[in-house]
Amino acid sequence: MTEIEGNSEKMDKRKSRSQLLVFTGGAALLAVAVNLAIVAISNRKKKKELPGFELRVNLSASEILNLADRIIAKSKKVHDAVASVPPNKVTYSNVISPLADLEAEQFPQVQSCVFPKLISTSDDVRKASAEAERRIDAHVQMCSKREDVYRVVKAFSTRGEQTSAEQKCFIQCLIRDFERNGLNLTSPKREELLRLRVQIEELSLRYIQNLNDDGTFIPLSEAELDGLPKEFFESLDKNENGQFKVTMRSHHTAAILEHCKVGTTRRMVAMTYGKRCGEVNLSILENLVHLRHKFARLQGYSNYADYAVHYRMARSSAKVFEFLESISDSLTDVAAKELASLKDLKKQEEGESPFGIEDLLYYVKKVEDQEFNLDFVTLKQYFPVSLVLSGIFKIMQDLFGLRFEEVIDAEVWHDDVKLYSVFDLNSGELIGYFFLDLYTREGKYIHTCVVALQNSALLSNGTRQIPVALLISQLQKDVDGHAGLMRFTEVVNLFHEFGHVVQHICNHASFTRISGLRVDSDFVEIPAQILENWCYESVSLKLLSGFHQDITVPIKDEVCESLKKWRHSFSALKLKQEVLYCLFDQIIHCAENVDIIELFKHLHSKVMLGLPMLEGSNPASCFPCSAIGYEAACYSRVWSEVFAADIFVSKFRGDLLNQHIGLQFRNKVLVPGGAKEPIDVLSDFLGREPSIQAFIDSKAEYSL
């Protein structure tokens, strides 16, 4: 029995002898506050040391650049040493171990240089951080193309020396990354591969730049924008005739498609949005797809989709097609019912005007307003930031057997930032740290996310590095500068990102390259998506909520139920629309010489239950993910959501705070990281292979 399994068994026995207490949000705040207050008092007596913490914070601009240069010099020295090993003398200790140790030691150093660009209040530091990232990236790219190092690593892999499963996984990652840069090809083919990569990058950036530069707008009167809120009009410029200039930016078009009562306006805006950059970007997308297929064939794949998916959880484009078509077909009956109700509603409001794709958001919003009676402005008053945080802490601690302690007087980059130590509740072992940087400020990264600052790793000298994470958010303070109230969507986002923090901290992989959040791209979102469900269940919502003027008053049960129904409203129809784009993305990257517009027109009618594509729409204009970022991998978000639903329904839904199940999830799913195949990880936890059925059933359960 491993140490982890032994600790789990002890905790399971201890839990069986105690009664699980469920607190309201106010009680959760009190429980966590008392715990943190005790820790704070003890830490003030003696400043807490940070064992295993290698990250450096508050570096100056010059220190960042100097550290980057030292990182590069050390890396070059190690790679040169590995490259000098004769092929007949390669061993794990003189080839693989130096590279693994280098990655482990340098990861927190690299992040010390790079993460200031996200959070620093100094413009000079942010610029230095960006420059350091550029230098380090260029060096990493150069190292990944070193044929001399590749030959030595390859020689070791064929030698047959006994290695562990984790070691084999790391070696395979090394070889894969070298070979994806063409080092297993002849020199002419390798040069062609690099030339194609440059062309693909240039075209991708041009595509996005065209969309960013697009200045198209539609002049509309206030009557034509009936239904839009006052704040929307205040955000618009006017032309010389006093009409509002509605740009084809997503925040403008989404607002109109969701709120505008005038059907002709919705249609005009949707059509114009769908024609952005027209023939120019269509030509670029066609060229991109052609070049990607050539790139993939050079590496032995029949098409780009198979190349892109080969090392992901799905493994093949055929598997992706099977998955997407199964989801789409299984949702057809529910989606048809949803669409029929929307068509009836439009007929009541607009007469015989046919229902089009441009009407979807507006009538979904209308039904939601009528059916669920959710006032999100009022709801916000039940989510004070401090209360939400205390609830998240309590849920994560209780569910996964963790203990969070604030590190008092920690070195941070802003007064708002806090650092926490994370301990195993049973053994008391320190397993990681995380920073919380929650509030908006000038110069800070504008999205909510988690950044891995230090990864789990076991060095060759027996030293274990522990994980460090950073959670960045953009919450607003109130007018007095105190922690304010959170919108419900912010609560969900924060809970999701805390899922990534726990995922990173609980990982125990031995190699930086396969630890923390550096796992299979089809798998990395699954844990956080599972945990989002806690935001829609009454038991956990009451831990997260409390009226801001009296935190002992939690959110009402009927509101919790309405939120759950709202979450699933028209979800089958919405998901089929997403599947449409995923299928389009897969097909263009599986076959050559595809008529992109005709393909999209065919798929639109087939998947969207007969709803036609908007006349004149250009799929290259409305779906940039196929051009850059998620090419041949747009399915991944749906993939994660489906398997997250299976795990939640099968294991957690009946007992949200069951620590026995939580510890199983922690030990079987989070601890291994990328050291095991994701499908094996999930199958081991579920006791069977993952299924789409729970996901499909959840859509049917809450259908209208």
Active site amino acids:
497
| Distance separating alpha carbons of residues 31 and 657, to the nearest angstrom | 16
DSSP structure class, residue 613: P
In sequence order, which residues have a C-beta less than 8 Å from that of residue 168 and are 6 or more positions away? none
Cβ density class 545-579: b for 16+ within 10 Å, e for less: bbbbeebeebbeeebbebbbbbebbbbbbbbbbbb
The number of CA neighbours under 13 Å toward the Cβ of 576 is 27
Q: Which of 665, 656, 641 is nearest to 506 (CA)?
A: 665
Q: Is 144 helix (H, G, I), strand (E, B) or coil?
A: coil
Spatial CB neighbours of 148, under 8 Å, sequence gap ≥ 6: 83
Question: Which of 397, 396, 385, 499 lies closest to 450, judged by CA?
Answer: 499
| Amino acid letter, residue 594 | V
Taking CA atoms, 630 is separated from 199, 205, 521, 624, in Å, by 17, 14, 11, 9
What string of H, E and C letters represents the secondary structure of 423-440?
EECCCCCEEEEEEEEEEC
Q: What angle do CA 50, 54, 60 make, to 5 degrees?
A: 110
Nearest to 426 by CA among 12, 16, 21: 12
Q: SS3 for 21?
A: coil
Q: Is 41 exposed, middle or buried (0-12, 13-18, 19+ CB in 10 A)?
A: exposed
Residue 307: which of 641, 631, 692 has the closest Cα? 631
Element (H, E) at 177: helix 165-179
Q: Which of 174, 137, 169, 141 shows the shortest CA–CA distance to 155?
A: 174
Taking the CA of residue 211 as centre, how many other CA atoms within 13 Å lie in the half-sphere pointing to its CB? 24
Secondary structure in 3-state letters for 308-362: HHCCCCCCCHHHHHHHHHHHHHHHHHHHHHHHHHHHHHHHHHHCCCCCCHHHHHH
Cβ pair 362, 258 in contact under 8 A = yes
Give the side-chain half-sphere CA count within 13 A for 159.
21
